[in-house]
Structure 1
Amino acid sequence: MRTYTANAALLKALSETRRAGSTIAFVPTMGNLHEGHLELVRKASELADIVVVSIFVNPMQFGAGEDLDAYPRTLISDKEKLFAEGVPILFAPGPGEIYPEGLSTQTQVMVPELADTLCGASRPGHFTGVATVVSKLFNIVRPDFAVFGEKDFQQLSIIRKMVLDLCLPIEIIGVATAREKDGLALSSRNGFLTRSERAVAPRLNEILMECREAIACGFDNFRELQAHAQLKLIRAGFEPDYFEIRDARTLHEVTESTEEVAILAAAKLGQPRLIDNVRLALNPVSDWGMLSSQ
C-alpha cells in the first residue's frame, strides 16, 4: 500500500493510473476505522480497478463546542486494517495540504435546504464543512465512484445533491449500515460509551424499527409516532436531538408523492451523540388514504 500526504504526488500517481485505463473508487474517511468503513472498502473494490481511501480529520466540519482535538486519530492501526483489505492507495494529508491558506478565506460549498435540517439544524455549518472537503477530495482523486455509508443518511443525500448540482462525473454509491449483532450501528463514537451506556445504545435502533413497523401496519399519525418515539428515547436514558419521519429522497416532510420514508434519529447517550435511520417503501399513490392526514 502506497501512502501519499501531498496532493500533487497523489494527482500524478492517479493520472498514470487513468492513462493505463484503470477505474478508481474512492472511500473518504476521518480514520479511526471500524468494520463499517471496511465494508465500504470492500464495496469499492467490487466497483473499480483501484481503491483510494483517504484519512483526514476535517476541521471545517467541527463546530463550536465540538472538540476537534479529542477526535481519535489511529493512523497506524488504520493502515494495518487497510493493508489487510488490499487497499493500494491511502491519502493521508495534513490540514495545511487541504487548507493551505487556513479556513477563514476558504471557498465554501453549501447545499441549501438539505444541509439546514435534522443534524444541520443542531450543528450549524457542519455540512458546509463536509461538502467543502468532499468536493476538494473529489477534485484531487477524481474518482469514477465514491462510496459512503447509509448510516449518515443526511450526509449521503447532501453529497448526492452536490455531485448532481456541480455536474461532477462521479457515481455515488451508498452501502447499508453495518451493525453489531444487537443492532447498534457501527460508529467511531461507540468507543466513548461506558459499559452501561453500551447496553442501552441498541435501543435507538429498536425504537426506529418499532416506528417503521407501526407505519407498515398502517398507523398514519406521524407526529404522534415521532413524539412517542422521543418519549421512549428519554425513558431509555437518551437525550434526543430529533426523531423525524421524512421523504427519503428530499428529506422534506412526507407528502402524497412520497414513495419511501426515512425515519431518522439523533440522540446523546452520555457523552456520545448517536445517529441512525431506517427506511420504508410506502404503498402506491393510489393507496395514499392512510397517509393523507399528514
Structure 2
Amino acid sequence: MGDYGLPLEFGYFLIPNVGDPLLVRARLADRLGLDLIGVQDHPYQRSYVETWTLLSMVAAVTERIKVFPDVASLPLRPPAVLAKAAASLDVLSGGRVELGLGAGSFWDAIEAYGGPRRTTGKARAALDEAITIIRGLWSGERSVRFEGEHYRVAGARSGPVPAHPIGIWLGVYGPKALALTGARADGWLPSSPYAPPDKLPELNARIDEAAAAAGREPGAIRRIYNINGTITDGPSGGFLNGPAEQWAEELTDVAVAYGMDSFVLWAEGDQETQLRRFAEEVVPEVRARVARERKG
C-alpha cells in the first residue's frame, strides 16, 4: 500500500451549529477554492440544524464546491428516500453531491428519535442492503425490487437519475465493514482521531484485500480523510497541531505513503482563520509537494 495516485481534493467539515454563520462559511470555502464541504448527520443533536436541509442551502448559495453528508446516519434515513434526496440535490446543484454513509452510532439517541437499535453485525448488514437499494434507485430502472432482512422495496420507481455518478463513501472502521467498503463502496471516509496515520496501512490493506477478492481495482476506491487539528504559529503539538509547514509535510506524507487522496479540515479554534490558513497556506503546498513526489 502506498500512493494510489488519485487526484487530490481538499474540503471543510462544516459543523452544523444552529447559531453559527454556516452559509457564510460555506461561501468562504467555495471562494477559497476548496473542493468539498462535509456535514455530520446527528438529527438528535438539539444544537444542530438538519443535515440535508443545510446541504441544500449550501449548494444553493455556492457555485462550484461539492457537498456531502459526513456521514449520513442510515438508521434514521430510509435508503430509498436517502437515494431520492441525494439524486435530487445532485440534479439541482449540477452534479455537486456525494454520499457519505454510516451504519449508525449513538444508539440511545437514534432510538430516542424513533430509529432502530442494531448490533454491529446487523448495522453492517443493513448498510450492505442500503447500498443495493440506493444504487437501484439511481439506476433509472422502471421497477426496483429488493427483499432484505432490514429493508425492502417492492416495485419502486427509480429517479431522478443523478446528474453525475454519485460516490458512496463509507465511514467505517471494523474489519468486516472495511471489507464491505472494498467489495462494494466507491470510497472510504475515516476521521483522523479514530484512524490515525499509524493505523491507516492496516485499515487500507483490509479494503484492498476485499476489493481484489471482489475483482475490483483497489486504487479505484477513494480515501477521504477528515483531519482534526489546529494550524498555529508555534511549535508542534503533535499530528496536525502546529504551523502550516508541519501540516504540509504531514499531509503530503499521508497522501504519498498512506494512500489518502482527499483531506477534509475538521478545525479546532477560530473557524474562519483556520479555513483561510488551510486553503491559502496548506493546500497549495501539499498539491505542489505531492506533484513533485509523484514525478520523482
Is the radius of gyration larger for structure 1 or structure 2? 1
- Of the two structures, which has the highest relative contact order with CA contacts closer than 8 Å and spacing of 6 or more? 2
- Establish whether TM, by shorter chain, passes 0.5: no
